[in-house]
Structure 1
């Protein structure tokens, strides 16, 4: 039985979908004003793995992840770039898809964009105004009346007054209360806008997700997820808006992945420890980044560092070396390893324990290689199948082992050229040059492996 930690209740619970056999899952996606960073990668990979396992155990999953394509940050960045908001968001969406596919993710079933749901947003705000949960302030902006929703704060298990004491909340004269938040913003000169009953303007951030989730999955669905920074105020406000409008509980289960820290510090541009996915993939094979994310349970914090990436590289190489040269056509046969793997994933998607099962499987596979070719092939197939649920071992072993790290900028072609020169030097009995090449490659992180079949290499 699958158990999931529910942020709303603060405990692990047995998962029972609203409709047996079917799951609706909404995950808050990115505001597309810049390239994805490694914190985004954490959330993307976490919910990709969750979606893979839900499907693996037989659920018919509808995975929806939104795109925020109108927002203060987008408008500001577009103005700085002297381009339209549409041009900026289209570029960033394309870049996000490229990054995500490189990281080995499968795309969600649906990716609604906020600008496609303006009428639904307006309709939702009108309902809130009619019910007394929203009002138009003196500046023309429309605000949600937080004090009108008696359960405000239930996701974070705090009272409204307590949340105000420790939170940064904009104080505006037009607001009735400091905790009230904007649903519709009056247009400013030069900004993108839409017409509404409250004048020309655009939606606030929080109402966008309420409209999109209800439109795509209905007023009551199974799982709502997102990053750790969304718990308050974004998700708290989503609950307040949606449930006030529909009279139904928005989501049964709320899931939040943990933060990414860099050398045990919060990632921040001001600290100079901010890394985009593209920064990292310029040096490391994408599966190494994925392995790092999988090595911690999705709710735990991850420490991103060169050391942690190198540890992930070593672990992943061990898995790939076990598969190297193995027959991949064998039929999948479920053994105790599969059972243990599924038990770990059923325990709130415990990927570190699932990984430990893979390493136990590798030990048996390596033993079988020596004296039981059939068993080795069966175990290799099982390793491939289980790893795929984590999005790992998706490359040819030889390719990964030669391209795990782009050491000193050496390409595979350049390394092969060095090997050819060394092979010729050995034929010419120029052993001094042969040793020079070996030492040169070793100093640049490339290890040569000589055998009867020739010379192969790996990055070290």
Structure 2
């Protein structure tokens, strides 16, 4: 599976700072100091309803992570998956009376278009769950051989008790885990499971549903969590720098994936930091496919909204915060992009070197994009009020906003 084209990242003078970011597992800010190649895995979409503003906010956060790392003169090895086989996709295809593969291809193509328009830097590997199945099957077999998996009516489950570190990503108690498991694709009430929290690794073939050869596992399809584990281990290995996604993935998805990987390799932790973006609401409720309260990037683009304004609306909120999409949020972003473009179109302005360092400092401090935007606003206001004599400053500002914030002026 291919990703989307990369937008050029302008080179800036000087060098950025190491990223200090909130780690869900420890509940603290940690300073990441990757080697020459920083490793990032971000969980991708289930392609049946893309790309809504919740998706966009999440991928914007991890685009900033990449930009901070690139500004430190590192390379970035970024991997993202596509869950192109899962119950929600099959259910949507059945509801709409369309082929599930056609639906997945259509929504994935739309996601690529949205990411390109928003200037999100693409992953080096963009891997679908279906294409990862040949690598998933041996991992499930190995977990079974290690005594960390068991069969129940043809399905294969992972035993969470096989990992002594289980629970150290989300730090939730058993009762909270059980509730979230039921809400987020698990089956804690299924009779016969050793532990209600045990997640499925391999689902035996069901009548009328797609299935693949699972060698000794029999025909079936993979569970949700093992998919990302197989892709991450294959391309990044253990101990990569950041595992990312929305806050609703901390449990069960990232918790379970970490346990799978830790049992498979005998190493801990799977990732050095677990980083989670907040949720976006509409009319007082979290945007979700089940509620149908979604604002789509593609619809905004069809309505003629400048993608730079869409991106600025995301950047106006700290990535970890939960926030609400409103018409005013978009209008504020439209006004801001107009002010910024007018400023960088002028022949001169106040010196901008200090502004570049302010943006760098803000982003290195737990991706504080609102502080970075406020710094640019101050430079723009100063230019409007007092003018300036530095003929290179508008170009410096334009390049810095593009390179570090992903906004083309």
1:75 aligns with 2:90: yes
Matched, 1:186 2:204: yes
Deviation at 1:368, TM superposition (A): 6.0
Give the TM-score normalised by structure 1.
0.79
Q: Any gaps of 5 or more consecutive residues in structure 2?
A: 1-17
Task: Please point out which of 9, 18, 27 is paired with 1:10.
Answer: 27
1:273 corresponds to which residue? 293
**2:398 aligned with 1:384:** yes
Which residue is 1:129 aligned to? 144
Match of 2:193 among 169, 175, 192: 175
Quote the Cα distance in structure 1 between the aligned partners of 2:329 and 2:146.
52
Deviation at residue 274 of structure 1 after TM alignment = 2.1
Matched residue SS, 1:287: helix
**How far has the Cα of 1:162 moved from its partner?**
5.1
Distance in 2 between residues matched to 1:166 and 1:212, nearest whole Å:
24
> Which residue of the partner structure matches residue 243 of structure 1?
262
Cα 1:269/1:236, change in 2 over 3 Å? closer
Match of 1:142 among 143, 153, 156: 156
| Residue of structure 2 equivalent to 1:353 | 371
Paired position in structure 2 for 1:56 = 71
1:304 alignment partner in structure 2 = 325
In the alignment, the residues of structure 2 paired with residue 285 and residue 161 of structure 1 have an alpha-carbon distance, to the nearest angstrom, of 45
Question: Contact 2:352 / 2:397 at 8 angstroms: preserved in 1?
Answer: no
- The one-character-per-residue Cα deviations of 1:17-70 (angstroms, maximum 9, x if unpaired) are 2xx222110000101122321111111212112212210121111011111111
State the Cα distance separating 1:269 from its structure 2 match: 5.5
The separation in 2 between residues aligned to 1:271 and 1:165, in whole angstroms, is: 19
Is the Cα contact below 8 Å between 2:61 and 2:319 reproduced in 1? yes
Alignment correspondent of 1:366:
384
Higher relative contact order, chain-length normalized (CA < 8 Å, sep 6+):
2
1:153 aligns to what? 167
Q: Describe the SS at the equivalent of 1:119.
A: helix
Tell me the C-alpha RMSD between the 2 structures.
Answer: 2.1
8 Å Cα contact 1:4-1:13 kept in structure 2? yes
1:235-261 Cα distance to aligned partner (Å, 9 max, x none): 110011111111112100111011101
- Which runs of 5 or more residues in structure 1 are unaligned? 396-460
Task: Count how many residue pairs are aligned between Structure 1 and Structure 2.
Answer: 384
Query: Can you list the C-alpha shifts for 1:247-298, whole angstroms capped at 9, x where unaligned?
Result: 1121001110111012443224665632222233233222221111101111
Structure 1 residues 88-141: Cα deviation after superposition (integer angstroms, max 9, x where no partner)? 22111111111111222222222111111112111111111111110111x100
Rounded Cα–Cα distance in structure 1 between residues aligned with 2:146 and 2:175: 23
Question: 2-side partners of 1:350 and 1:8: how far apart?
Answer: 20
SS in 1 for 2:399: helix
Write the deviation string for residues 167-194 of structure 1: whole angstroms up to 9, x where unpaired.
5252112422211111000111222111
User: Partner residue of 1:290?
Assistant: 311
Shift of 1:161: 5.0
Deviations 1:412-448 (A, max 9, x none): xxxxxxxxxxxxxxxxxxxxxxxxxxxxxxxxxxxxx
**Separation in structure 1 between the aligned mates of residue 158 and residue 103 of structure 2, nearest angstrom:** 29
User: Which position in structure 1 is the counterpart of 2:10?
Assistant: none
Runs of 4+ in 1 over 6 A off after TM superposition: none
Q: Provide closer, same or farther for how the CA distance between residues 95 and 271 of structure 1 changes in structure 2, counting only shifts above 3 A.
A: closer
